Structure 1
Amino acid sequence: MARQLVRRTTLAALTTTAVLGLLTSNASAAEPEPFARKWRVVVKCQLVRINPYGVLKYIDGTGTGTTYNSAETNALQHVDTKVPVGHYKRHCDDVLVERFIAPPAPSVALAAG
């Protein structure tokens, strides 16, 4: 009887701790940090049909990220979503690369007095 009481008490304490941990972590993650994504990349790739072989058109994709490489990877993954079955992409080039710089923090004027 005593073991069951200890198990139930321990289980209740662990459950409460886990729930409180989830609530506090979600509350802080609700507001994204401004200017968290600093790069934007647009890529253009050829869309090639496998059979019969031929270049059909160009497709583009956009990606953002905290670094240039992560933004480019996200852009290439966006292009992958546009490639139909029986086709593939090749010769991807950057069309647009933008870097966003956070505006300076507003200065607080001290009141003389």
Structure 2
Amino acid sequence: MTILRRAAVAGLMTLVLGGAAAPAATASQTVAPEPATGITKIWHVTVQCHIVRISDNHVVGYERADGSGNTKTKALNNAKRNVPVPEGHRKRHCDAKRWW
């Protein structure tokens, strides 16, 4: 308990005096390399949606579209936006068919 209290007091004093509280590196500790900046994963997805006629609410077919984004959610939303919907119709039940 006293070791933890000493570490807390030392860290608090370092912050009060305006320094940064950084633990001293020992031989057993290793420093992880920083990730490369500017490299991001680009997700791609293919979705398939039902095309529904609004007048009688019947499914008249399916349409597919591709999309991409920095996250899976952004890629899925982009693909859903890219689905071509004819006038007088709407899309529903869009399912992700392929991720890469």
Q: Shorter-chain TM-score: what band?
A: 0.5 to 0.7
3-state secondary structure, aligned to 1:73: helix
Does residue 1:97 correspond to 2:87, yes or no? no
TM-score scaled by length of structure 2 = 0.57
Moved over 3 A (4+): none
Uncovered stretches (5+) of structure 2, i.e. residues with no partner: 1-37
Aligned alpha-carbon RMSD (Å): 1.6
Q: For 2:53 and 2:77, locate their aligned partners in 1 and report how far apart those are by CA, in whole Å.
A: 23
| Percent sequence identity over aligned pairs | 40
3-state secondary structure, aligned to 2:87: coil
Residue by residue over 1:50-107, the C-alpha shift from the partner in whole angstroms, topping out at 9 and shown as x without a partner, is 123311111011001111111111100001xx10111000111000011xxxxxxxxx
Which structure 2 residues correspond to residues 63-74 of structure 1 after superposition, within 5 A? 63-74=67-78
- Paired positions, count: 63
1:49 pairs, out of 46, 50, 53, with 53
The letter for the 1-side match of 2:97 is: V
TM-score scaled by length of structure 1 = 0.51
Uncovered stretches (5+) of structure 1, i.e. residues with no partner: 1-32, 99-113
